């Protein structure tokens, strides 16, 4: 009875979620479905490989500094989601708003790259994409990895 009341309250709430989510990682990024679904423009492995050859593309690692040090995609800059607010001014001064930017985090069960994309979008950046397979997807394809603080 109580569960039914909770479900009804959820259904009428503007912040409500569907009864079933998208939790199968093989079907794309996991989320609770409905309005929880990220609408970020995403790219796949092949797109990233192409973009990787373009020196103008900026690759951003949205994971924590510790994870970045333990291994990251060579060339990627570390801008952890939790630190971006503090680093925003520095970022705006360094990169023009039309700079093509690709963001990644851990993988398909990580939302930080999508959240960082929204923050960058709100800061005026226009050419933004998320590499959804993330660092896990990169490693799974035996692509090179760099450790330490250097991009």
Partner 1 sequence: MNGYRILEWVFRWFSGSVFILSSIHKIMDPCKFAVDIYNYQISPHALINLIAIVIPYLELLLGIALIAGILPRGAALGITATLIFFIILLSINLIRGIDASCGCFSSESDACELLADWYKSTHPEISAITKARLRTLCDIVRDIIFLIPTVGALILLNRRYQQRG
150 near partner 1, rule: CB under 8 A: no
Minimum distance, C-beta of residue 84 to partner 1, in the bound complex (Å): 14
Q: How far is CA 102 from the centre of its chain?
A: 9
> Rg of the Cα trace of the chain?
17
Provide the mask over 84-123, with x wherever binding to partner 1 is found by CB under 8 A and - wherever it is not: -------------------------x-x------------
Residue 6 or 94: which CB sits closer to partner 1?
6
Contact 135, 63 (CB under 8 A): yes
Residue 8 or 140: which CB sits closer to partner 1?
8
Contact 7, 19 (CB under 8 A): yes
- Contacts of residue 140, Cβ cutoff 8 Å, sequence gap at least 6: 133
From 15-23, 86-94, 119-127, 135-143, span contacting partner 1 (CB under 8 A): 15-23
């Amino acid at each position: 009875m109580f569960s039914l009341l909770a479900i009804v309250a959820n259904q009428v709430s503007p912040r409500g979620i569907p009864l079933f989510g998208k939790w199968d990682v093989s079907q794309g990024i996991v989320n609770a479905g409905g309005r929880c679904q990220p609408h970020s423009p995403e790219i796949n492995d092949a797109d990233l490989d192409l973009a990787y050859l373009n020196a103008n593309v900026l690759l951003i690692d949205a994971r924590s500094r510790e994870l970045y040090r333990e291994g990251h995609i060579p060339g990627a800059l570390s801008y952890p989601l939790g630190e971006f607010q503090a680093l925003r001014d520095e970022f705006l001064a360094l990169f023009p708003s039309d700079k093509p930017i690709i963001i990644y985090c851990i993988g398909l069960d990580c939302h930080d790259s999508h959240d960082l994309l929204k923050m960058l979008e709100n800061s005026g950046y226009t050419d933004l994409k998320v590499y959804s397979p993330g660092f896990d997807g990169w490693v799974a394809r035996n692509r090179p990895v760099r450790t330490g603080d250097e991009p």
